[in-house]
Amino acid sequence: MGQQPRLDTSPPVTDEIRRTSCYMCACRCGINVHMKDGAVRYIEGNRDHPVNRGVLCAKGSAGIMQHLSPARLRAPLRRVGPRGSGQFEEISWDEALKTATDWLKPIRETAPEKLAFFTGRDQSQSFTSWWAQSFGTPNYAAHGGFCSVNMAAAGIYTMGGAFWEFGQPDWERTKLFMLFGVAEDHDSNPIKMGLGRLKARGAKIIGVNPVRSVYNAVADEWVGITPGTDGLFILALVHELMRAGRIDLDYLIRYTNAPFLVNCDPGSEDRGLFLRDDEGRPLVRDRATGRAVLWDTPGIRPDLANGLETGGMAYRPVFQLMAERYLDPAHAPDAVAARCGVPAARIRRIAAELARVAFEEEIVIERPWTDWKGERHAVMRGRPVSFHAMRGISAHSNGFQTCRALHMLQILLGSVETPGGFRFKPPYPKPPEAHPRPHCRTRPGTPLDGPHLGYPMSPDDLALTPEGAPARIDKAFTWENPLSAHGLMHMVISNAHAGDPYRIDTLFLYMANMAWNSSMNTAQVMRMLTDTDETGDYVIPRIIYSDAYASEMVAYADLILPDTTYLERHDCISLLDRPICEAEAAADAIRWPVVEPERPGHAGVRGFQSVLLDLGARLGLPGMVTEDGAPAFADYADYMVHHERRPGVGPLAGWRGAEGESHGRGAPNPRQIERYIENGGFWLAHIPEEAHYFKPWNRAYQDWAVKTGLVDKPAPYVFNLYVEPMRRFQRAAEGLGRHRPPEHLRDRIAQAMDPLPIWYPPFSEDAATDADYPLHALTQRPMAMYHSWGSQNAWLRQIHGRNPLYMHGRLMAEHGLEEGDWAEVTSPHGTITVPVARMDALNPHTVWTWNAIGKRKGAWALSEDAPEAREGFLLNHLIHELLPPKGDGLRWANSDPVTGQAAWYDLRVRIARADPPPEECRPVFPPVASPVGPAPRNVRRGGTE
């Protein structure tokens, strides 16, 4: 061999690094965008950023290909062909905004509820909701209702926060971590980083999931549970722990409502409600005196074992009711093992491991702290077991109560907000009473009477008209789903089409692929969007849509307002919205245009939030115009800096005050965005060490939260093992109180609104289903792909470009299926024909596939013969937003009866070999015309040739 070639090992890397926030999924990691010759060339993680600390997932690194996607829209579009055809003409922005204004102005002046404004994967909900409130329509929500509202709402009602954005395991200290259900995407990098840290320390990971993919693959123990039975499994763990007294009694009497006294007099109108003093404050029994005293009296010893009688009524502590329920043999491992698909011995062993780690490997941090009563604690004592769950357990019709059960388990172990357990992230903890109530009162030409979404505390808070009819088009906050805290986006189109509860004029959607993967019953939804009445007019008269890309939904709109890519825009990741804080720090962040949006030869694209402000000014919406009627904000960046939600509190918390001298609270700072950019695109404020744990009850934390502007005064509270507001709904179903549910919903309300966690079978299940549809069918989102967006990405689609239906080898053998075969998959609602593949690391009664890989021909600038359009499919076609008729003359929603969350994972199917196999997945839909033309064939260095 001759000389080695001379190699330059120090080539120039970049002209400049611009630091902003990722938007390839909902994690919102910090990214370093490398620029060369004015163009984006490479994206890596920002090491300083609190969310990802330098790492970046496959999606994030592929962001350059999203930015350069051939599916990017280029100009506002006006529909010229029939709806659904995809035939558009490009128009100017002036024309587009004038059209939208001409449509919306008369609505606002006459009947603001005729606008339904729903945003999908919107990361600016505090802004979009403010806009909708100012417009005056009650019909606003984002996508939480079809995502994971059960997890969020159950967490808020139980303890003032849930997983992901609300809190995280104490990764540094936890010794046993249990991960429930499908959770690969919420959140993405932080969970992987956390698992890596647990692995490095040798902590144990238990995965509970019907499918052993990704995180469950590295789990030390995998529990391949039957879908929909997580709640039953959790309550069996509770049964075992209680029976053995392996619960943290000191924690329960100090920090929960376990000692609150419940009226147990069967003849009392107040049965099930707490004993309260004249000012409505709950009372507990003090063991020292046997008397009822205020729950937060310093120095008392609250009782859990004994109740009392007063005023002729019998009262028992919440904990007694819990013991009665969960010690019942119906919750014993032997009683639930078969249904859960988990042997009883294993349930007992996991319970024993939780007990051992929580109570025999207790953590003590030598760090004094003071509670809100003024009691000084010498140490911080913790129970190092922690949990995480997301949609896997929540997207069921029993999801709310299952999520409640998981939170109850954590609380019984004393592991919430203690070292080694689960930790809140600011602005959480925040109990339900600290959130707004829903508002729905409209008046022409006037803003709504308050925020749309919130947490009802009783039937008085439902969004009903004076006549008792649903006030919202999605029927959120009605007796059908009283606690629908995120709205029900998945019901909007079918309700609008049915004119139930009323007809609307304009459907305005943002970043929501409702004509494809974001809807149940996709084919029917497409029909509803194109359906005409007897005069030939569309039943949903007008549809405005904003998206950055040529998604399937584009073809179904009349007017398209094209958005920018995430590298071309301003955004604020705000504490007022879905935060990105850490357990030991508050944080917020921005996006800023690291490149300007350029669409040569076309009218161009604009950031949707800036367009909304422009539209708001044209409509004269309060807050968006000055006194003389001029636009109040130049664009969204201007709003981010100058808008104040409360005096001194705006979208961004960092560098407030004229000189950027204050944080949290302070006057607007005109140079605020520059300061964020200088700091790497984010702001971070550490929580004092004394305030790191016990946040809901820790005086130092409460004081810090006030100073930082998260709350206006300290608001300590206890966890709600017993959710009294749910009991208020249950009472109504028993005929008590001012507001009563309609007759046909009474039994369901009485069952579902149980104030203590319960388990009931998913609504899709009954004996007939078990016989005709013996299999469960699930989807998961791959870690390298985030819903439909990913398929336009030349790199990511090479990783996930088709999706077979995975099934156990024994199931394949039973049905005569071999690798490469196709199967007909039938649910009570329909049939699809899809390719199959074998996977044995799977609950044997479950089949599954990747979510949202399948594409409509003509969408996303893919060629019509792309594998996504031929060998990719949606399970959505098998899922109806309503359950099959039950013979009672009613159609029941396929959703959780508490929150209305879409019960995606209740799906039951049967399979049969498809013979002969089809050439492509069925159903097949005709192609839509592409508004962006064909994509280039070959790609190199981000460009094309």
Q: What is the C-alpha separation between 73 and 933, in angstroms, rounded?
A: 10
Tokens coding 73: 């829209």
Candidate residues 348, 437, 618, 776; the one interacting with other proteins per rule CB under 8 A: 348
Choices 296-304, 483-491, 657-665, 810-818 (CB under 8 A): range interacting with other proteins: 296-304
* Residue 229, Cβ density class (10 Å: 0-12 exposed, 13-18 middle, ≥19 buried): buried
Using CB under 8 A as the binding rule, whether residue 329 contacts other proteins is answered as: no
Tokens coding 647: 């005096």
Residue count, binding to other proteins (CB under 8 A) = 113
Q: What is the C-alpha separation between 867 and 895, in angstroms, rounded?
A: 32
Candidate residues 142, 355, 553, 928; the one interacting with other proteins per rule CB under 8 A: 355
Instruction: Residue count of the chain, please give it.
Output: 945
Candidate residues 475, 797, 856, 908; the one interacting with other proteins per rule CB under 8 A: 797
Using CB under 8 A as the binding rule, whether residue 309 contacts other proteins is answered as: no
Using CB under 8 A as the binding rule, whether residue 939 contacts other proteins is answered as: yes
Q: What is the 3-state secondary structure (H, E, C) of 106-158?
A: HHHHHCHHHEEEEECCCCCHHHHHHHHHHHCCCCEECHHHHCCHHHHHHHHHH
Candidate residues 113, 122, 240, 577; the one interacting with other proteins per rule CB under 8 A: 240
Candidate residues 7, 80, 767, 771; the one interacting with other proteins per rule CB under 8 A: 7
Using CB under 8 A as the binding rule, whether residue 612 contacts other proteins is answered as: no
Candidate residues 46, 99, 174, 213; the one interacting with other proteins per rule CB under 8 A: 213
| 263 φ, ψ (degrees, to nearest 5) | -65, 115
Q: What is the C-alpha separation between 474 and 895, in angstroms, rounded?
A: 13
Q: Are 661 and 651 spatial neighbours (Cβ–Cβ below 8 Å)?
A: no
Q: What is the C-alpha separation between 70 and 906, in angstroms, rounded?
A: 37
Candidate residues 78, 105, 243, 739; the one interacting with other proteins per rule CB under 8 A: 243
Candidate residues 121, 175, 192, 430; the one interacting with other proteins per rule CB under 8 A: 192
Using CB under 8 A as the binding rule, whether residue 790 contacts other proteins is answered as: no
The contact pattern for other proteins, residues 829-848, with x = CB under 8 A and - = no contact, is ----------xxxx------
- Angstrom CA distances, 668 to 648, 650, 665, stand at 7, 8, 9
Positions in 870-889 near other proteins (CB under 8 A): none
Candidate residues 86, 181, 224, 716; the one interacting with other proteins per rule CB under 8 A: 224
Q: What is the C-alpha separation between 358 and 437, in angstroms, rounded?
A: 37
Using CB under 8 A as the binding rule, whether residue 234 contacts other proteins is answered as: no
CB of 883 to other proteins, least distance (A): 33
Report the Cα–Cα distance between both ends of the chain, in Å, rounded: 37
CB closer to other proteins, 54 vs 918? 54
Candidate residues 420, 867, 872, 900; the one interacting with other proteins per rule CB under 8 A: 867
| H or E element that contains 79 | strand 77-79
Tokens coding 445: 């030409």
* Residue 128, Cβ density class (10 Å: 0-12 exposed, 13-18 middle, ≥19 buried): buried
Using CB under 8 A as the binding rule, whether residue 767 contacts other proteins is answered as: no
Type of residue at 792: Q
Helix, strand, coil percentages in the chain from 3-state DSSP, rounded to 5: 30, 20, 50
Candidate residues 346, 377, 746, 922; the one interacting with other proteins per rule CB under 8 A: 346
Using CB under 8 A as the binding rule, whether residue 214 contacts other proteins is answered as: yes
Choices 267-275, 620-628, 630-638, 788-796 (CB under 8 A): range interacting with other proteins: 788-796
Maximal C-alpha separation, the chain? 102
Q: What is the C-alpha separation between 461 and 482, in angstroms, rounded?
A: 9
Using CB under 8 A as the binding rule, whether residue 9 contacts other proteins is answered as: yes
Using CB under 8 A as the binding rule, whether residue 751 contacts other proteins is answered as: no
Q: Are 616 and 131 spatial neighbours (Cβ–Cβ below 8 Å)?
A: yes
Q: Are 842 and 225 spatial neighbours (Cβ–Cβ below 8 Å)?
A: no
Q: What is the C-alpha separation between 864 and 856, in angstroms, rounded?
A: 8
Using CB under 8 A as the binding rule, whether residue 43 contacts other proteins is answered as: yes
Candidate residues 349, 599, 602, 922; the one interacting with other proteins per rule CB under 8 A: 349
Candidate residues 82, 106, 244, 443; the one interacting with other proteins per rule CB under 8 A: 244
CB closer to other proteins, 5 vs 280? 5
CB closer to other proteins, 701 vs 860? 860
Using CB under 8 A as the binding rule, whether residue 361 contacts other proteins is answered as: no
Using CB under 8 A as the binding rule, whether residue 265 contacts other proteins is answered as: no
CB of 346 to other proteins, least distance (A): 5
Q: Which residues of 286-314 are buried (b: 16+ CB within 10 A; e: fewer)?
A: beeeeebbebeeeebebbbeebbeeeebb
Using CB under 8 A as the binding rule, whether residue 373 contacts other proteins is answered as: no
Positions in 53-72 near other proteins (CB under 8 A): 54-62, 64, 70
Using CB under 8 A as the binding rule, whether residue 291 contacts other proteins is answered as: no
